[in-house]
Chain A
Amino acid sequence: MNIIETENLTRKFDDFLAVDHIRFSVGKGEIFGFLGPNGAGKTTTIKMLTTLLYPSEGSASIAGFDILKQRANVRENIGVVFQEPALDTELTGKENLDFHARMYGLTPETRKKRITQVLTLVDLLDKKDILVKQYSGGMKRRLEIARGLMHSPTVLFLDEPTLGLDAQTRRAIWEYIKQLNKEEGTTIFLTTHYMDEADFLCDRIGIIDHGKILVMDTVDTLKKSVGHDVITLSCSNNEQLQKRLGQEPWVSNITPHDSFLTLGVQRGEEKIPAIFDIARTINVAISSVDVRKPTLDDVFLYYTGRRMREQNPETLRSKVPKPSGIHLRRQRQ
């Protein structure tokens, strides 16, 4: 049975389409991730699935319950870790967890046990009796994660779970998410804009941008779709070299970027001499070359035409429509 199922889920804010007719499903026990830049529509999707926002169009079901008609049943089956802090800062860390535990109807024994357990996990046990308003940003984040893990929901939604955390805590939280998924069979839906996080945690990912799912598959399949190896080149005349290399049967997915070209090939290290030979015949000088296994970054670049880490204020989601040229390459496929 699919735990999450959506049907043309859409949300508009005035004239702005935040989530645009998305359709996906997540199976029981799966870790599914939405990978996309800030403002891609990830949080809006989570808010609709967790009954906090009404969809403008379309529908979805969680554990077989309709998010519009059976909201109470949906809430019984979900746990959420929000992106923005959702803590009561006038209460202590422990009181926040206690509040949560009681709202979810945990028994007193489970409550005590879980509170100690999750506080240990995020290393806040010694800070449990301090008011949350005196916590640092990182501590708040950790407390939030701890809270989301406390009750054992059918599906756990994690909105950018490790945003702003140090490497060590991130690791610990990843391990715990994996463990939770394995031992308790919790289905996990997470959003992230960290490639390594999606790579490490997710069985399957959907790449989302501008409110649309561009592609959805297992991490391995997605990487292979780019090519077994990725060669990045910069040279004196990108356009000319691209045209020439595009004629070779062993080159797939050749893509121009601002100052470099990427191409997918098999056994990349053996192809470099051939590429140099070709470049020499058309009088193009190659200034740098790099061969590596494809990463999710390449996948993202391939499907959206830009790197996630190149985000600047203009490429961030705003109400200003994007230049359509950015999608040219996708149309050409």
Chain B
Amino acid sequence: MNSKDFQAIYMLWLRQMKRFLRARSRVLSTIVQPIFFLLILGFGFNMAVFPGMEGSYINFLAPGIIAMAILFSSMFTGVSVLWDKQSGFLQEVLVAPVSRLSIVIGRTLGGATIALCQGFIIMIIALFLGAPIVDFKGLLLTAIIMVLLSFTAVGFGLIIASKMRDFEGFQSIMSLILMPLLFLSSAFYPINESLPGWLQALSYCNPLFYMIDGIRGSLTGANNILHPLVDLGIISVLCVIIMGLGTYFFNKSEA
């Protein structure tokens, strides 16, 4: 890492910001979609009684939707390497005299910035809908978990992108991987003894579960299963592994 690499990271970050802000429809849809989820599911299930759930359903749902927004947006950033591959721009990036690591970092930071903005917008809306914040320390921990979640998702996207040649597989990845991850993550319903054993087991194998549980624990301080710091530990390890793999695969791929 030298000053050249930092300049490259900044440039890659700046490029993503510009691209994102110029694609107005994307700005709109990435914010509106989670808001729909939050409002419609939130009010729709608000009457329902889940065994062992504290507080209103919106309070329970908010952390899940924040995580969902970050997950989708960051995954998209990772997979969008494919766009660059198809447009040929990836070659321009890959022959530049900067390390592959700084290319990955630049893209990750760009994706994370966008994802976090979206995450915070959802969070603010959730606050207006009545989700409580425990304290400032909790908010800080939530922000850290959100960053880690975003990095992990970008890394995951990079792995997928390096294994795909075109967009044909993109749709199936979304429905085959992302949807089960989301439904098994405790985003929409609490994971507890009232569920079948196999469903519980699957949920505990799901990385997203720990991220949502962590946000829930630190932000609202209710309905979490593990202590937020335990979640943080698990998430950190996962993040390092996935980012490492993402960098490795990106490094190996040919343009």
Contact mask for chain A residues 129-149; partner B; CB cutoff 8 A; 1 contact, 0 none: 001000000000000000100
* Chain A residue with Cβ nearest B93: A103
Contact mask for chain A residues 28-53; partner B; CB cutoff 8 A; 1 contact, 0 none: 00000000000000000001001111
Per the bound structure, the CA–CA distance linking A51 and B96 in Å amounts to: 10
B97 interfacial by beta-carbon distance below 8 Å = yes
Q: Chain A's nearest CB lies how many Å from the CB of B84?
A: 8
Asked if A84 and B254 sit within 8 Å, CB to CB, the answer is no
Contact mask for chain A residues 72-102; partner B; CB cutoff 8 A; 1 contact, 0 none: 1001101010101111111100010001101
Q: Is the interface of B mostly helix, strand, loop or mixed?
A: helix
B123 interfacial by beta-carbon distance below 8 Å = no
Asked if A76 and B92 sit within 8 Å, CB to CB, the answer is no
Task: Please report the total number of A residues contacting B with Cβ < 8 Å.
Answer: 29
Asked if A91 and B11 sit within 8 Å, CB to CB, the answer is no
Asked if B95 and A51 sit within 8 Å, CB to CB, the answer is yes
Asked if B255 and A52 sit within 8 Å, CB to CB, the answer is yes
Asked if B22 and A86 sit within 8 Å, CB to CB, the answer is no
A54 interfacial by beta-carbon distance below 8 Å = yes
Q: Is the interface of A mostly helix, strand, loop or mixed?
A: loop
Interchain pairs with CB closer than 8 A, number: 75
Kindly list chain A residues whose C-beta atoms are within 8 Å of the C-beta of B8: 102-103
* Chain A residue with Cβ nearest B18: A91
Kindly list chain A residues whose C-beta atoms are within 8 Å of the C-beta of B11: 99, 102-103
Per the bound structure, the CA–CA distance linking A90 and B26 in Å amounts to: 13
Contact mask for chain A residues 94-115; partner B; CB cutoff 8 A; 1 contact, 0 none: 0100011011110000000000
Q: A54-B254, A72-B97, A75-B97 in contact; A86/B91 too (CB < 8 A)?
A: yes
Task: List chain B positions with a Cβ less than 8 A from chain A.
Answer: 3-4, 7-8, 10-11, 15, 18-19, 22-23, 87-99, 254-255
Instruction: Pull 16 A–B residue pairs with CB atoms less than 8 Å apart, ordered by A.
Output: A52-B91, A53-B255, A54-B254, A82-B91, A84-B88, A86-B88, A86-B89, A88-B19, A90-B18, A90-B23, A99-B11, A102-B8, A102-B10, A103-B93, A104-B97, A105-B4
